[in-house]
């Protein structure tokens, strides 16, 4: 076991897979010599050479498009896009080809590629550096979307992502890149994609979150405990394929569901979970499902970001209202 | 045309003065009077002062991430002197001198980097677009503005900027192609400051220079010493005339060096050497210009006093930005749409209810 941050845990997963499989290739802007702007790939170029860990020219569509080419030709590329808000030039490649190649060729060409990028707000960043586009990607048939919330999960999920024969969008909550330290096993282990995790069992209300919002929910749970509310906290861990079974079981048990996320709430992952609650557990609901999510606005720049971000107080406020409904 | 004399295929570079401020190409020295020369130097000095102070404000925690301009002042200031009020500025994010010339206030620049959208609401600057963070995307806007200028039969020219890294983006190719096909009056400047964060330009492109990319689009291109104010001024003057005459766009590669970090979050010691930085120090645009001015004997002011005056002015602007109106909930919603959807009004009202609850439970 070693104490790791999320950054170190992902680096460790990449290290293990690079050592184990010579077809794993890591590239993107500044990922080589510099080790990435957040240092997620630090030291890997030195260890595995410039043919396997390298800086690409500055072009996101180029990174993902060439990654697809490598993947169908037998490699396992793990590409980095530098920030959430810089992924969109690659959107065309993702929606037009990465997601479709396997189905288009009736399985002849697989796309075992991981597209990883830091996402989310709360770090007082410039415009385009605080976004949560998971719903945009989860909405694309043919793509799987994974979001870890701890160093342990980040490592296990990254190992699974690299070993997956399907293309994976791996979104890393940059706000907690270094904020959480945790004992993580040094050896290789994997966490299955598509499985949520019940972090805390409870009986009054199900709270579902992912990424950096898990930590905010845990803070809110101090308040719910004081208020005598029993919360069942679920870490989604995979956005798509969404773990309907875990969600449904919990909602049926508690009868109430609150979804916490940073993204704008309309047409979101939160909306999808509400649909699941309605479709799978309608007769068990004792209160309307509630989204504690961003406004349907652009993420404000740093001075206004606090209005947009979900805080423990806000999460508690909505949980309490849902329970008292 | 100067562009014809410096064929990028031969990897020629257009220079007027050397690092000691000595004129090495007197034939092409632009007609520029002493007052304008001094004005240009002062504008560069002011931009440098503001930039250095911006970095230190960030270090003091009074501003968020900031991308320094230091070392690239000659390009922006030369463009600023040629740009007319009706001309358009389509910046990336390292064109301080050009913003100031356009009438963008330092207060606005600081407000933006303090994390307030009001910093992009330029009160006095006409035809100046805000900072563009997604690399290269702004060049297409420049081409579109150029089309509108032609269609509306206006006498305007677009000054569009991008860095060396941005030339790898598809948008760069699309913008130059569109502008060329449409004969749009756009001066595309690539500020080749040698690095895209940590990636050196030699790993960005295998072209012998960036100006040569103009060949692919059938437009004139030239590589200019971007640290040489006079060369940049001469190139912009010709490019401006060329565009105004309806000939279409041009590409200027301005060879320069980013003296500072990519942004205040970056540490350049990770990817470049002290020796390299010292070598470029000799080609500092302010240093070259000052040598020239001193040799000509036209400098009459006390530089120390002038610097103090500039610092006071920057401090004044910063203070105004720091004391700007507090950010309100309305600021999050008010400009999302011209015709605001009702649901947004409800989201705001719901949040106000939460704020009220928060107040009462304190």
Residue B341 contacts by C-beta under 8 Å, 6 or more apart in sequence?
A296
- Residue ranges of A 189-248 with Cβ closer than 8 A to chain B: none
> Which residues of A does the annotation mark as catalytic?
129
Q: What is the 3-state secondary structure (H, E, C) of chain A?
A: CEEECHHHHHHHHHHHHHHHCCCEEEEECCCCCCCCCCCCCCCHHHHHCCCCEEECCCCHHHHHHHHHHHHHCCCEEEEECCCHHHCHHHHHHHHHHHCCHHHHCCCCCCCCCEEEEEECCCCCCCCCCCCCCHHHHHCCCCCEEECCCCHHHHHHHHHHHHHCCCCEEEEEEHHHCCCCCEEECCCCCCCCCCCCEEEECCCCEEEEECCCHHHHHHHHHHHHHHCCCCEEEEECCEEECCCHHHHHHHHHHHCCEEEEEEEECCCCHHHHHHHHHHHHHHHHCCCCCEEEEECCCCCCCHHHHHHHCCCHHHHHHHHHHHHHC
Contact B333 A295 (CB under 8 A): yes
A2-184, which class in CATH?
Answer: alpha beta
**Are the beta carbons of A244 and A258 closer than 8 angstroms?**
no
Phi, psi of A189 (to 5 degrees): -150, 160
Give the CA distances from residue B320 to residues A310, B51, B65, in Å, rounded to whole numbers and listed in that order: 30, 17, 19
Q: Answer whether CATH 3.40.50.920 is correct for domain A197-324.
A: yes
The mean pLDDT of A85-98, rounded to a whole number, is: 98
Contacts with A124 from chain B: Cβ below 8 Å: 64-65, 115
- Regions of chain B with pLDDT less than 70: none
Strand order of the sheet with strand B186-192?
A: B88-90, B158-163, B186-192, B250-255, B221-225
Contacts with B204 from chain A: Cβ below 8 Å: 57-58
Find the CB nearest B170 among A61, A126, A313: A61
Closest of A71, A79, A132 to residue A102, by C-alpha: A71
pLDDT digits (tens, 9 = 90+) for A6-56: 999 999 999 999 999 999 999 999 999 999 999 999 999 999 999 999 999
Q: Is it the case that residue A302 has pLDDT exceeding 80?
A: yes
pLDDT digits (tens, 9 = 90+) for B126-159: 999 999 999 999 999 999 999 999 999 999 999 9
pLDDT digits (tens, 9 = 90+) for A221-263: 999 999 999 999 999 999 999 999 999 999 999 999 999 999 9
A89 touches chain B (CB under 8 A): yes
Contact A295 B64 (CB under 8 A): no
Closest of A58, A81, A180, A189 to residue A137, by C-alpha: A81
Annotated active-site residue B15? The verdict is: no
Rounded Cα–Cα distance for residues A58 and B136 (Å): 10
B327 touches chain A (CB under 8 A): yes
| Residue indicated by tokens 């994976």 | A168
Contact A317 B354 (CB under 8 A): yes
* Pairs across A and B, CB distance < 8 A: 114
Rounded Cα–Cα distance for residues A6 and A180 (Å): 7
pLDDT of the residue at A86: 97
The mean pLDDT of A181-199, rounded to a whole number, is: 98
In angstroms, the first-to-last Cα distance of chain A is 45
pLDDT of the residue at B1: 83
Rounded Cα–Cα distance for residues A297 and B330 (Å): 12
The domain locations on chain A are 2-184, 197-324
Helix pair A312-324, A213-226: axis angle to 10 deg: 50
B264 touches chain A (CB under 8 A): no
Contacts with A30 from chain B: Cβ below 8 Å: 196-199
Contact B199 A314 (CB under 8 A): no
Rounded Cα–Cα distance for residues A84 and B47 (Å): 32
- The ipTM, to two decimals, is 0.95
Give which of A307, A313, A317 to mutate to test B binding, by max B Cβ within 10 Å: A307
Residue-averaged pLDDT of chain A: 98
Measured between CA atoms, how close is B361 to chain A, in angstroms? 10
Fold: same for A2-184 and A197-324: yes
Strand (E) positions, B211-284?
Answer: 221-225, 250-255
């Amino acid at each position: 076991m070693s104490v790791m941050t999320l950054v170190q845990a992902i680096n460790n997963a990449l290290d293990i897979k690079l050592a184990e499989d010579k077809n794993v290739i890591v590239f993107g802007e500044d990922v080589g010599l510099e080790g990435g702007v957040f240092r997620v790939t630090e030291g890997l170029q030195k260890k595995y050479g410039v043919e396997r860990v390298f800086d690409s020219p500055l072009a996101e569509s180029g990174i993902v498009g060439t990654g697809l080419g490598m993947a169908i030709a037998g490699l396992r590329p793990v590409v980095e896009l530098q920030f959430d808000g810089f992924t969109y030039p690659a959107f065309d490649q993702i929606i037009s080809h990465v997601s479709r190649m396997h189905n288009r060729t009736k399985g002849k060409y697989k796309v075992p590629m991981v597209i990883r990028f830091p996402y989310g707000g709360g770090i007082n960043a410039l415009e385009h550096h605080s976004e949560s586009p998971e719903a945009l990607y989860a909405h694309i048939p043919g793509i799987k979307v994974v979001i870890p919330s701890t160093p342990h999960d980040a490592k296990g999920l990254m190992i699974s992502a690299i070993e997956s024969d399907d293309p994976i969008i791996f979104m890393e909550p940059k706000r907690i890149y270094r904020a959480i330290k945790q004992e993580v096993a040094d050896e290789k282990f994997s966490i299955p994609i598509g499985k949520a995790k019940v972090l805390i069992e409870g009986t009054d209300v199900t709270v579902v979150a992912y990424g950096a919002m898990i930590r905010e929910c845990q803070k809110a749970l101090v308040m719910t405990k004081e208020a005598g509310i029993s919360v069942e906290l679920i870490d989604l861990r995979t956005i798509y394929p969404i773990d309907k079974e875990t969600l449904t079981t919990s909602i049926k048990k508690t009868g109430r569901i609150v979804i916490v996320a940073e993204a704008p709430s309309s047409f979101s992952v939160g909306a999808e979970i509400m649909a699941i609650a309605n479709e799978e557990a309608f007769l068990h609901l004792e209160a309307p499902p509630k989204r504690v999510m961003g406004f349907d606005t652009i993420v404000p720049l740093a001075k206004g970001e606090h209005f947009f971000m979900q805080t423990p107080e806000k999460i508690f406020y909505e949980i309490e209202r849902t329970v008292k409904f | 045309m100067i562009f014809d004399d410096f064929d990028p295929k031969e990897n020629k570079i257009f220079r007027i003065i050397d690092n000691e401020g000595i004129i090495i190409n007197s034939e092409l020295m632009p007609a520029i009077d002493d007052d304008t020369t001094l004005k240009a130097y002062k504008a560069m000095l002011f931009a440098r002062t503001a930039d250095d102070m911006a970095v230190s404000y960030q270090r003091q925690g009074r501003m968020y991430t900031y991308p320094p301009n230091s070392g690239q002042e000659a390009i922006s200031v030369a463009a600023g002197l040629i740009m007319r009020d009706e001309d358009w500025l389509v910046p990336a994010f390292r064109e301080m001198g050009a913003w100031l010339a356009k009438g963008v206030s330092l207060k606005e620049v600081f407000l933006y980097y303090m994390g307030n959208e009001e910093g992009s609401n330029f009160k006095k600057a006409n035809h100046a677009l805000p900072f563009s963070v997604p690399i290269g995307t702004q060049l297409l806007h420049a081409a579109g503005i150029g089309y509108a200028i032609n269609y509306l039969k206006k006498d305007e020219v677009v000054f569009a900027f991008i860095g060396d890294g941005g030339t790898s983006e598809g948008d760069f190719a699309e913008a130059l192609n569109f502008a060329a096909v449409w004969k749009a009056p756009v001066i595309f400047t690539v500020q080749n400051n040698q690095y895209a964060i940590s990636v050196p330009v030699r790993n960005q492109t295998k072209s012998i220079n960036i100006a040569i990319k103009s060949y692919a689009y059938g437009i004139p291109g030239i590589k200019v010493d971007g640290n040489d104010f006079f060369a940049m001024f001469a190139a912009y003057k010709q490019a401006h005339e060329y565009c105004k005459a309806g000939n279409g766009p041009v590409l200027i590669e301005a060879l320069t060096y980013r003296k500072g970090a990519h942004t205040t979050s970056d540490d350049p010691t990770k990817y470049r050497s002290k020796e390299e930085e010292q070598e470029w120090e000799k080609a500092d645009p302010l240093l070259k210009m000052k040598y020239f001015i001193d040799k000509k004997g036209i400098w009459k002011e006390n530089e120390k006093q002038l610097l103090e005056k500039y610092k006071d002015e920057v401090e004044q602007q910063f203070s105004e930005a720091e004391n700007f109106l507090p950010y309100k909930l309305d600021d999050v919603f008010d400009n999302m749409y011209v015709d605001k959807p009702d649901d947004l009004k409800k989201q705001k009202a719901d949040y106000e209810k939460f704020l009220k609850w928060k107040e009462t439970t304190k």
